[in-house]
Amino acid sequence: MVGEIYVSEPLTIQRIMDLLERYPHLERITCPPSLYARTSPKYLDALKNLGVEVKPEQRKGRPPKYTQKEISQVNQMLSQGNTPQQIAQKTSIPLKSIYNLIEKPLKPRGKKYGPETIKKVKDLYKKGITPREISDELEIPLRSVYFLIKK
């Protein structure tokens, strides 16, 4: 006895009849929001009168393979000093997946050129030196010279 099903094909009258025949105790049909929007209100009302609720359900992408518990276990083992290879052996999770599960905090990228370099580029430009010459002299990419001049 199935009480709820998920459909990913349009709900036509023929499809609805097939579903009701196949699942006589059907109580709820879930479908993608885009499919729900395209379903005729007449069909929705008819299903409602038959006691079948139709609800849109947001499902995006593939569901995660590993639970949050497994992810935290991997990170805990890593913080205890285990290597990714050891963790893979102990948990039976593939090594490549271990590397993907390891939570790495994002490090903010520092500025490439300091204030003195920026000042030097602007001063040279004000003296009438071309950006190409500044690039060659300071060994900075031409694109970066233009960026620093505008800054």
Instruction: Give the pLDDT band (50/70/90) at residue 151.
Output: confident
Domain count, the chain: 3
pLDDT at 109 > cutoff 80: no
State the residue range of the domain holding 25. 4-56
**Arithmetic mean of pLDDT over the chain:** 89
Residues 47 and 15 in one domain: yes
Determine, yes or no, domain membership for 107: no
- Mark 54-82 as b/e (b = at least 16 C-beta within 10 Å): beeeeeeeeeeeeeeeebebbeebbeeeb
Determine, yes or no, domain membership for 108: no
Q: How many other C-beta atoms are found inside a 10 Å radius of the C-beta of residue 39? A: 19
The phi and psi torsions of 54 (rounded to 5 degrees) equal -115, 120
Residues 85 and 120 in one domain: no
Determine, yes or no, domain membership for 110: no
Determine, yes or no, domain membership for 130: yes
- Mark 100-112 as b/e (b = at least 16 C-beta within 10 Å): ebeeeeeeeeeee
Residues 52 and 75 in one domain: no
Determine, yes or no, domain membership for 82: yes
Determine, yes or no, domain membership for 61: no
Those residues with Cβ within 8 angstroms of residue 49's Cβ, 6 or more apart along the chain or in another chain = none
Residues 81 and 41 in one domain: no
Determine, yes or no, domain membership for 51: yes
* Residue 29, amino acid: I
**Tens digits of per-residue pLDDT, 37-87?**
999 999 999 999 999 999 998 776 777 788 889 988 998 999 999 999 999
Residues 44 and 82 in one domain: no
- d(CA 33, CA 47) in angstroms, rounded, equals 17
